[in-house]
């Protein structure tokens, strides 16, 4: 394990490597992205095995939500990188004439990426892809709560890149705090809001810019004019994938009373269709990451409010897909992001009332709305604020490299995926080049009589 002194050495080695200018070469970056892609593909089975050991993550979910997302990000970056990196022409003013303007993307330098345990591969590698594409050196600190994935990431990156270019530092919060004592050119953090504040405070001492990909309670509004079967299926999928340990999982439902009972019945039917009568025996259902989180989650289940599920098993850290009814905002389950397979069902009287319930709380990372009514859609979109929105589905808005993903307010700052990741790790430098052809004297003193010309 690295100590404070060796973290500093590593950062200095990366600074020296960055100073050689090698990472600024576009062909170099393309080669590194291809190397990363090949390494992921070569180690696919080991990555799947690690995710299985850490989270009992089903291979299908690991391939779809972790590996494929990274490969798509690399493919898209390889296709676009030359366009992204090319200086863009900018118009100049008559007062600057004769001159030309351009905007150049330059890498920031040495960046730190700190990732969580819930999608432990993808949430470390996806930002790294943008850091490489933009021409930076990077240190990645994966989550210690997913040790098998952390270890395979360290192995893959260690075999693929010299540490003075890309390095993995494994360890817990003490190691992270060691790293945070040093100066970086950007810190990209994915994790909880509480730790996000610690990261931002540490970054402030060096004025280091931060991207904070945080969490929050993402609401899901279900209106009466929705397609009941598809709605139930899409909510159940988004809530219970990875056993609810997804930053953009629908945290709670806000349902119109007229559709509540049929929706509950349809959701129960879908849970059974996905995971069978006994989800503990399903190979398609993940487990809770740690004993601590297991305890926290089981403490949120009030037995008298359980209308489906509620069972748990400490030895295997299994918690059944659980539906809670009769929940109020005063209940503990509504205090913080749940981040587990527990779905509280609340009601709303009118759309205004649903919007008010959302707006009284911190801005969420995602907002879900199920409706076929365009006016309803427009009202919710214009009267609420959230990191992203997905209408008539859950989670799926995260998948496109063409759509920036990030939070707002308490759910984070900055965004990534596709070009947004490249932008995150770039500085856009405006360059004005003046000509020596002639020199208008209007702006120079003495100013007398010149005011009328400006």
Give the binding site for ligand NAD (CB under 6 A): 114-118, 123, 141, 143-144, 172-173, 176-177, 190-192, 195, 198, 213-215, 247, 337, 339, 365, 407, 412
C-alpha span between 280 and 277 (Å, rounded): 9
Q: For residues 348 and 416, which CB has a smaller minimum distance to ligand NAD in the complex?
A: 416
Q: Which is nearer to ligand NAD, 214 or 254 (CB)?
A: 214
- Residue 394 has φ and ψ, to the nearest 5°, of -125, 155
> 284 and 274 in contact (C-beta within 8 Å)?
yes
Whole-number Å distance between alpha carbons of 95 and 97: 6
Residue whose C-alpha is closest to residue 222's, from 240, 201, 236: 236
Catalytic residues, which ones?
213
Distance CA 170, CA 218 (A): 30
In the complex with ligand NAD, which residue's Cβ is closer, 175 or 266?
Answer: 175
In the bound state with ligand NAD, the residue whose beta carbon lies nearer, of 134 and 146, is 146
Query: Which of 10/81 has CB closer to ligand NAD?
Result: 10
Q: Closest distance between ligand NAD and the C-beta of residue 29, in Å?
A: 24
Buried b (16+ CB within 10 A) or exposed e, 40-49: beebeeebbb
Cα torsion through 338, 342, 346, 352, rounded to 10: 50
Exposure string over 55-81, b if 16+ CB within 10 A, otherwise e: bbbbbebbbebbbebbbbbbebbbeeb
Chain position carrying tokens 């949120």: 300
Q: Please, what is the minimum distance in Å from the beta carbon of residue 250 to ligand NAD? A: 13
The residue among 17 and 119 lying less far from ligand NAD, judged by its C-beta, is 119
Which one, 175 or 254, has the nearer CB to ligand NAD? 175
Rg (CA), the chain: 25
d(CA 19, CA 127): 22
The DSSP line for 327-387 is: --TTSGGGTS---SSEEEEEE-SSHHHHHHHHHTSPPPSEEEEE-S-HHHHHHHHHH---S
Choose between 172 and 229: whose C-beta lies nearer to ligand NAD: 172
What is the token pair recorded at 234?
A: 């899409």
- Return the residue nearest ligand NAD (CB atom): 215
Burial of 13 by CB count in 10 Å (0-12 exposed, 13-18 middle, 19+ buried)?
middle
Closest CA to 73 of 390, 419, 425: 419
Angle formed by the axes of helices 228-240 and 257-275, to 10°? Answer: 60
Q: Which is nearer to ligand NAD, 373 or 385 (CB)?
A: 385
Neighbour count for residue 388 (Cβ, 10 Å): 21
Phi-psi sector, 426: left (phi>0), alpha (psi -120 to 50), beta: beta
* C-alpha distances in Å from residue 401, one per residue of 21, 79, 171, 237, 404: 28, 12, 30, 22, 7
Instruction: Specify whether the CB–CB gap between 344 and 219 falls below 8 A.
Output: no
E-strand spans in 108-150? 110-114, 137-141
């Amino acid at each position: 394990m690295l100590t404070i002194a060796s973290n500093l050495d590593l950062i200095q080695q990366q600074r020296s490597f960055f100073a050689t200018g090698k990472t600024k070469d576009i062909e170099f970056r393309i080669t590194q992205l291809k190397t990363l892609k090949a390494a992921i593909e070569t180690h696919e089975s080991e990555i799947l095995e690690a995710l299985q050991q850490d989270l009992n993550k089903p291979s299908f979910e690991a391939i779809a939500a972790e590996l494929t997302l990274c490969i798509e990000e690399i493919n898209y970056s390889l296709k676009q990188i030359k366009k992204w990196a090319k200086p863009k022409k900018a118009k100049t003013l008559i007062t600057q004439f004769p001159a030309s303007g351009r905007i150049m993307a330059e890498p920031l330098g040495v960046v730190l990426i700190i990732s969580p345990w819930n999608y432990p591969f993808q949430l470390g590698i996806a930002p790294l892809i943008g850091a490489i594409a933009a021409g930076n050196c990077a240190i990645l600190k994966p989550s210690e709560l997913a040790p098998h994935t952390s270890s395979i990431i360290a192995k893959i990156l260690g075999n693929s890149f010299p540490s003075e270019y890309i390095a993995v530092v494994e360890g817990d919060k003490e190691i992270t705090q060691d790293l945070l004592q040093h100066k970086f050119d950007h810190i990209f953090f994915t994790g909880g809001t509480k730790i996000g504040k610690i990261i931002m405070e540490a970054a402030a001492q060096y004025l280091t810019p931060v991207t904070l990909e945080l969490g929050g309670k993402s609401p899901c509004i279900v209106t009466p004019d929705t397609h009941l079967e598809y709605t139930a299926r899409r909510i159940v999928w988004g809530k219970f994938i990875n056993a609810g340990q997804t930053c953009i999982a629908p945290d709670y439902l806000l349902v119109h009373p007229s559709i509540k009972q049929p929706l509950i019945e349809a959701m129960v039917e879908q849970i059974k269709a996905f995971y069978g009568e006994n989800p503990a025996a399903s190979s398609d259902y993940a487990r809770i990451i740690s004993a601590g989180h297991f305890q926290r989650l089981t403490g949120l289940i009030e037995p008298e409010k359980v209308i489906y599920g509620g069972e748990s098993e400490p030895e295997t850290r299994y918690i059944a897909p659980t539906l809670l009814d009769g929940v109020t905002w005063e209940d503990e389950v509504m205090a913080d992001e749940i981040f587990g397979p527990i779905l509280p069902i609340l009601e709303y009287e009118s759309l205004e009332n649903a919007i008010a319930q959302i707006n009284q709380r911190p801005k969420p990372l995602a907002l879900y709305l199920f409706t076929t009514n365009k006016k309803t859609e427009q009202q919710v979109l214009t009267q609420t604020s959230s990191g992203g929105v997905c209408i008539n589905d859950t989670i799926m808005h995260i998948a496109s490299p063409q759509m920036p993903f990030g939070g707002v307010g308490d759910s984070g700052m900055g965004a990534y995926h596709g070009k947004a990741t490249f932008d995150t790790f770039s500085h856009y430098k405006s360059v004005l080049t003046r000509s020596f052809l002639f020199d208008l004297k209007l702006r120079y003193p003495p100013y007398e009589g010149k005011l009328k010309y400006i």
